[in-house]
Amino acid sequence: MTIATTDNSTGAEVSSDKPQVERTGAERGVAQIKAEYQIQRRAEPTPRIEPASDAADAPASGEGAVEAAGQGAGKRSGGQHQNRRQKSKAARAERGIRLCGKTAVGEVCPLGDKCTYSHDVAGYLAEKEPDLGPSCVNIDVYGKCRYGLRCRYAGAHPAAGDEKAESASQFYAHNDVGKDMQIRLRKKQIRFPRSDEFEAIWEREAKEGICDVVKGPSDEAREKRQRTRRGQIDYRGKTYLAPLTTVGNLPFRRICKGYGVDITCSEMAIAGNLLQGQQSEWALVKRHKSEAIFGVQLAGNSASVLGKAAELISSECEVDFIDLNMGCPIDMVANNGGGSALLSQPRKIGRMVRTMHYVADCDITVKIRTGVLKNENVAHKLVPQFEDWGAALVTLHGRSRQQRYTKQANWPYIGECKQAASRVPLFGGGDVMSWEEYWDHLETEKQSDGIMIGRGALVKPWVFKEIEERRVWDISATERLDMMKEFAAFGLEHWGTDSQGVSNTRRYLLEWQSFLHRYIPAGILEVLPQRMNDRPPAFVGRNDLETLMASSLARDWIKISEMILGPTPDDFTFVPKHKSNSYED
């Protein structure tokens, strides 16, 4: 096996040949680390972080909350995210002056005295926290910063008269539908002619007995309109980054694009929330210009609602496909009849897929699990029907809803389902985080037409580069820190360079670090590759930074964030959002 390594002192990349050692029964489930890097002490408890390889893997309130150091590790916190936002707003109000956005950029506020924000520039600057760095990403990329005096990097802004020429292209991302559309949605002023047409056809043909309730309207009726964006993508053999709740944000997808992933997808969006014009939900569907093949994933429990959301996305957004989430195992989604709960209702699934296929001009894809219960697989029965219903791609996670992320993904069963798919490509997913595993499933075992990678990409996003080059990359700690700095720059560009934008960037960086710390450097492993479910013994890295990055303590993740984004506020705490059970038997 060829391993590309980076010399930690020179940064030069070197290659070496290293045999892959067969694991014994006693060694399975434990990462084999070279003796000189192991330490004889009790390992710190690993925070229980929810693997998010299904797009809808947001935890129920309070699950697995682990406070930052000194705040009571393991303490549960009910409804922490809603309360966190409320407390954050209150804290900002108490800390000092909140400057008006118009005033911050030197413009006259049209609201005047009615504005709820302050116009006291001198007072704001007297209380403003120190700048965080010598350069502003907005100035560097666009030549102008929309945050003005509120920017935490305002010292890097050019003085009046010395401004750079503003970039000719201020374009950042597709699919920003704007406030007017969201307001019209909230007022129910948007019409859905294709969805209404489908409902009429469905009811008429069902009454006349032309088609059964599972299959929906006839192909002739469905194909009256010409599709301009459908069937243009050959999915087979392409690498696919799974939709990932919270951590699968646009800046993270840009990181993975930099490592060569082919297909990206938005975080899961709730169809009903989109139709209600919720700004936070519409923010999820934004597409960066680097995302060459991009889709939006929808979740819901109603064919009518999903159809309207798909029609709206298809007409208002630039997408290559719309994915229907039927893989989310968490209670707050499944108990409402969505996600993996749909797998026990094939008639309902049929109507959903048919509806979305009829109203959208782009491909419709589906994400499923093996079934609801661990010993009652149903995916092999559904796959042939998805072909008839119009799906362009089926992605199958090799576990049931009941299993969530315990046990090993059932790749032999994924292979069986591939044989059941005569026309539509079938992608598998589960536990893949190395190029050896990837190509073994695709070429040796021929178990799928492609692989969707979720947790593996969170732990080591450079896995896509390894897959393309078919080699292990022993990435150095410095290179990993540079990767996180790039994420922070993407985050500041996306969420903003004011205090709130910096806070959001830091928190999403910390959420990602709750997965990143699980990476074991290839150069200290006795046995390659690292497996998803292998527990690492306590170890030290090849330098202090590598050791720090392997820490499972939130306080150490915060230290790393401070290397990149400056010091945190005195009252800052971090609660990882996801609970992990990927090591459980």
| Choice among 256, 328, 362, 417 that is catalytic | 328
DSSP summary character for residue 21: P
How many contiguous H segments (helices) and E segments (strands) does the chain have?
22, 14
Q: Is 155 helix (H, G, I), strand (E, B) or coil?
A: helix
Beta bridge partner(s), residue 264: 294
Report the alpha-carbon distance of residue 488 to residue 499 in Å, rounded: 14
Q: What are phi and psi of 5, to 5 degrees?
A: -115, 160
Residue 328 catalytic?
A: yes
Report CA torsion sign: 295, 298, 303, 304. Answer: negative
Beta bridge partner(s), residue 363: 321
Report the alpha-carbon distance of residue 558 to residue 506 in Å, rounded: 9
- Contact predicate 200/307, CB 8 Å: no
Closest among 417, 420, 433 to 239, alpha carbons compared: 433
Q: What are phi and psi of 557, to 5 degrees?
A: -65, -40
- Contact predicate 54/405, CB 8 Å: no
Which tokens belong to 106? 């030197």
Q: Which residues contact 189 (CB under 8 A, 6 or more apart)?
A: none
- Contact predicate 522/17, CB 8 Å: no
Q: Which residues are catalytic?
A: 328
